C-alpha cells in the first residue's frame, strides 16, 4: 500500500520530514495536550497511539455549528487550532483528523491522510466526504479516525482483512472489498458499513474541494441543520436540530425533542462545546424557526 510523501513504511521506520502542504508547523502541541488532558508518553508506540486517539475522542466533540450558522470551515491548521484547541469548540471530520494527523506527525508517527466514501449502511457510491488516517505504529498499519461522530472509532483498528476491535459495548472491523477497505460497526442485526477508503496519496487541495462541498452544498448532510455527536464506551448520542437520539450499549434507543434552550445547554454541558453568548443566541434563533418543542428538561440516561 502506497504511503504519501512525508509518511513512513511500517517496516524500517526511517525518519522523513512531514510534507509542508499540511501546515504541521502551525501546531501548538503543548496547547493540544492541555486541551485533551493527555499527559502520557510521547513516543511512537502503539500504546501511545491508542491513548492519544482516545483522549482526542473524549475531549473534542463532533459538531457542525459553523456550517449551521452559515459560516465556512477553514482547513488551515492554524485556524483549526484556534477553533478546536484554543476556542474549546468541536468540529467535523476534516478538522478533527487533520489536527490529529499533525499531532501524530509531530511525535514521529508516519501518517497518510485519506478521503473516504460514507455508506451508513447503504452501498451507494457517494462522493468522498469523510477523512480517515492510516498510521504506522509497532511495525503495523492502523486505521485512525477521531472524526466520524457517534458511531466512530474510539481506538484505532489494525488495517488487516477481518481485523476487529472492541471498546466497551461497541465493536468495529475492517474488511477488504475488491481494491478498497470497508470500516464496519456491529449492530444487533449484523455488521453495518460505515465508510470505504483506498490507501493512496491525497493532497491538501483534494481535501479543500471535498470540504467546500460538504460545508456549502445543499445536498450535503451537514448543511441546513445543527448536528452534534459523541460516542463513549457505553452510549452514542446524536443531536440533529432539536432531536436527540441516544443509543445505549444494551440495545435501548431513546429519542427526545428539545427546546432551543435545552439544545444550547446540551451542547455546552453534555457535548462540552464552548459556545459564546452570541453563538448561543444565533442557535436559539435558528432553532426557533422549527416546529414548537416542549420546554421540559432533557432526561438523563438514568431518568429515561
Q: Tens-digit pLDDT profile for the chain (304 aa)? A: 444 444 444 433 445 577 899 999 999 999 999 999 999 999 999 999 999 999 999 999 999 999 999 999 999 999 999 999 999 999 999 999 999 999 999 999 999 999 999 998 888 888 899 999 999 999 999 999 999 999 999 999 999 999 999 999 999 999 999 999 999 999 999 999 999 999 999 999 999 999 999 999 999 999 999 999 999 999 999 999 999 999 999 999 999 999 999 999 999 999 999 999 999 999 999 999 886 655 544 433 333 2
Catalytic residues: 93, 130, 145
* Closest CA relative to residue 160, chosen from 172, 147, 149, 150: 172
In the numeric block, the cell 444494551 is attached to 250
Q: What is the separation, in whole angstroms, between the first and last Cα of the chain?
A: 47
Instruction: With H, G, I as helix, E, B as strand and everything else as coil, classify residue 256.
Output: strand
Count other Cβ atoms within 10 Å, centred on residue 30.
8
Contact in structure between 101 and 133 (CB atoms under 8 Å): yes
User: Residue length, the chain?
Assistant: 304
Amino acid at each position: 500500500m502506497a504511503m504519501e510523501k512525508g509518511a513512513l513504511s511500517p517496516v524500517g521506520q526511517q525518519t522523513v520530514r512531514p510534507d509542508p502542504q499540511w501546515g504541521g508547523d502551525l501546531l501548538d502541541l503543548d496547547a493540544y495536550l492541555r486541551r485533551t488532558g493527555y499527559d502520557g508518553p510521547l513516543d511512537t508506540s502503539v500504546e501511545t497511539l491508542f491513548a492519544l486517539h482516545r483522549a482526542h475522542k473524549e475531549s473534542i466533540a463532533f459538531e457542525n455549528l459553523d456550517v449551521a450558522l452559515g459560516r465556512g470551515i477553514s482547513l488551515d491548521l492554524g485556524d483549526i487550532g484556534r477553533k478546536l484547541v484554543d476556542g474549546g469548540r468541536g468540529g467535523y471530520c476534516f478538522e478533527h483528523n487533520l489536527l490529529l494527523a499533525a499531532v501524530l506527525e509531530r511525535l514521529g508517527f508516519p501518517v497518510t491522510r485519506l478521503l473516504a466514501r460514507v455508506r451508513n449502511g447503504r452501498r451507494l457510491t457517494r462522493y468522498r466526504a469523510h477523512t480517515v488516517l492510516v498510521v504506522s505504529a509497532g511495525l503495523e498499519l492502523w486505521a485512525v479516525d477521531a472524526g466520524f461522530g457517534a458511531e466512530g472509532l474510539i481506538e484505532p483498528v489494525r488495517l488487516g482483512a477481518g481485523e476487529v476491535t472492541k471498546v466497551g459495548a461497541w465493536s468495529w472491523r475492517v474488511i477488504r472489498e475488491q481494491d478498497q477497505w470497508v470500516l464496519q460497526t456491529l449492530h444487533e442485526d449484523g455488521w453495518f458499513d460505515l465508510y470505504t477508503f483506498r490507501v493512496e496519496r491525497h493532497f491538501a487541495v483534494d481535501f479543500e474541494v471535498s470540504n467546500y462541498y460538504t460545508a456549502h452544498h445543499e445536498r450535503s448532510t451537514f448543511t441546513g441543520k445543527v448536528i452534534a455527536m459523541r460516542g463513549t464506551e457505553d452510549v452514542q448520542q446524536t443531536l440533529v436540530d432539536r432531536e436527540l437520539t441516544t443509543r445505549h450499549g444494551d440495545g435501548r434507543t431513546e429519542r427526545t425533542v428539545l427546546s432551543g434552550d435545552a439544545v444550547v445547554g446540551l451542547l455546552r454541558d453534555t457535548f462540552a462545546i464552548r459556545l459564546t453568548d452570541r453563538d448561543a443566541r444565533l442557535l436559539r434563533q435558528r432553532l426557533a424557526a422549527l416546529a414548537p418543542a416542549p420546554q421540559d428538561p432533557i432526561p438523563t440516561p438514568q431518568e429515561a
